[in-house]
Amino acid sequence: MKLVTAAQMRELDRAAIVGRGIPGLDLMERAGAAVARCAAAMIREGRLRPRVLLCAGKGNNGGDAFVAARRLRAEGIAVRMLLFAHRGDIARDAIENLRRYEAEGGETTSVETPAELAAFREDAASYGLAVDGILGTGAAGEVSGQAAAAIGFIRELRSPVLAIDVPSGLDATTGAVRGIAVRAAATVAMGLPKTGMVSGDGPAHCGRIRVADIGLPPDLVEAVEGAGDLVVEADLQSLFPPRPRLAHKGDFGHVLVVAGSPGMTGAACLAASAALRSGAGLVTVAAARSLNPVLAAKLTEAMTLPLPETREGALGGEAGEEILRAADRFDAAVIGPGLGRRPETVAMVRALIAALRVPTVVDADGLYALAGDPSILKGAQAPLVLTPHPGEMARLAGGDAAGVLRDRRGAAEGFARLHGAVVVLKGMQTLVVSPGGGVSINASGNPGMATAGSGDVLSGVIASFLGQQMDQRDAARAAVFVHGDAGDRAAMRLGERGMTASDIVERLPAAVEALVRGDW
């Protein structure tokens, strides 16, 4: 979905209201309804206390909060509305929605002085979720006065915060913090996501980004020149058509996982389990023969292909030849998780990448085998997806991790274009870069996913989607989103500190099913 600046979004709103005659109240109703849906989902998925504290300012974001409060009350969720503005200063459509909220029995507490704010602090701890509707995309300059006090109050809350359109205090175009800004667990972007959400301090303040359809005419949206692409649910749903009732397991792809070595069988198991849990019909793990008892015990649903090994338990040329003899059985492959870095294994990986014809994901030790001389990628016969973290990207490109982090987009674009592979540069807001140009940014996921094995899970999901006949770009975009969404579901239930890669795998089916159902 297109990323736009605050000015572009204002022009879109103006064109819809003035040029097309769409009432601003209709847009606000849709926006507030989306906030209410997201709030209810956060309460349900996070098992939060069903009490919502809404903080409203004088602008249209406040109006969205009034609509959300009215709709949450209608669903039986307790709400408390704090108004950080004089009623006479409230925007026209917003004041109408405040009247509607109060006409249906909603109560509003005006907060105009520090003493009034201090009196409410103790009660604030009883709410499971807070909603930030103080400032919107049109705010400019350093935040001060009542708005700054409101943001400071929201920042002190221990409950998660849902921001309306953009966290208050964050510049919607640049992502700069204008003095003080709300740190949200999630943000509902209205109409289109804003460039500031993926720039500057935006990623650290927006949390999970949801995009609400507020009824903008599609032709107006199409005419806007976006500043990038954010991966969102609405763009992915068509990739997951209903499964035919007469389907069999062979219809959903057979994934080959070339992974694992002594002491690293977990990587192979995670990649294989992730492929199965994200929809692959069949999975076979190719690993050293001595590891087969471990893999067979840990992987009930996956098959194994025991391979000849060296005295050290590593895979080499003989194993590679056996893989190639069996290659026609598979629809997609993963090479690398926990595979090891011995010279004979490196040579085998390079031979496989040159000879395999099925779409292939190269990860972890597979990427290590390419470092220093990635030129073999140009002669590969198979469509490739590479999944480096910044350190691996630096080794592939012959630079350093600090340089990659300074220009993640440039590093990934240059490598993808030069070597003809889709590059998934992992990290906060993972990038998916295509060889012919085009960069997609993923905003699902959380810091709890910085845990051992998380990357192995992602490689398995990408391979699963490749095996289900998605092309490289679509498979990578869908996989990074689903992987992040599963991680968000794990964090919501378990917290970020103790979650593991297996917790992500366990929630992959729910993340995929949410896309299939359009449950967002």
153 exposure class (CB count in 10 Å sphere: 0-12, 13-18, 19+): buried
Quote the distance between the C-alpha of residue 234 and its chain's center.
13
Residue range 238-517, CATH number: 3.40.1190.20
**Is 287 strand, coil or helix?**
strand
Comparing CA positions, the residue from 386, 7, 405 lying closest to residue 196 is 7
Comparing CA positions, the residue from 259, 203, 301, 266 lying closest to residue 509 is 301
For position 122, what pLDDT does the model report? 79
**DSSP code, position 503:** H
Cα–Cα dist 77/38, whole Å = 13
Which structure tokens are listed for 510? 């729910």
Q: Tokens 């599609």 belong to which residue?
A: 218
For position 118, what pLDDT does the model report? 84
DSSP bridge partners of 131: 54, 162
Could you tell me if 292 and 369 are in contact, meaning their C-beta atoms sit under 8 angstroms apart?
no
Comparing CA positions, the residue from 87, 82, 155 lying closest to residue 119 is 82
E-strand stretches of 344-500: 360-362, 384-386, 422-425, 431-433, 439-442
For position 520, what pLDDT does the model report? 61
Task: Supply φ then ψ for residue 142, to 5 degrees.
Answer: -65, 135
Which structure tokens are listed for 84? 């950080």
CATH architecture label of 6-225? 3-Layer(aba) Sandwich (3.40)
DSSP bridge partners of 207: none
Amino acid at 294: V
How many C-beta atoms surround the C-beta of residue 172 within 10 A? 29
Enter the pTM of the model. 0.91
For position 112, what pLDDT does the model report? 84
Q: Where are the domains of the chain?
A: 6-225, 238-517
* pLDDT digit string (tens) for the chain, length 520 residues: 999 999 999 999 999 999 999 999 999 999 999 999 999 999 998 889 999 999 999 999 999 999 999 999 999 999 999 999 999 999 999 999 999 999 999 999 999 888 888 888 878 889 999 999 999 998 888 999 999 999 999 999 999 999 999 999 999 999 999 999 999 999 999 999 999 999 999 999 999 999 999 999 999 999 999 888 999 998 999 999 999 999 999 999 999 999 999 999 999 999 999 999 999 999 999 999 999 999 999 999 999 999 999 999 999 999 999 999 999 999 999 999 999 999 999 999 999 999 999 999 999 999 999 997 899 999 999 999 999 999 999 999 998 999 999 999 999 999 999 999 999 999 999 999 999 888 999 999 999 999 999 999 999 999 999 999 999 999 999 999 999 999 999 998 999 999 999 999 999 999 999 988 876 6
How much of the chain is in helix, strand and coil states, percent to nearest 5?
A: 50, 15, 35
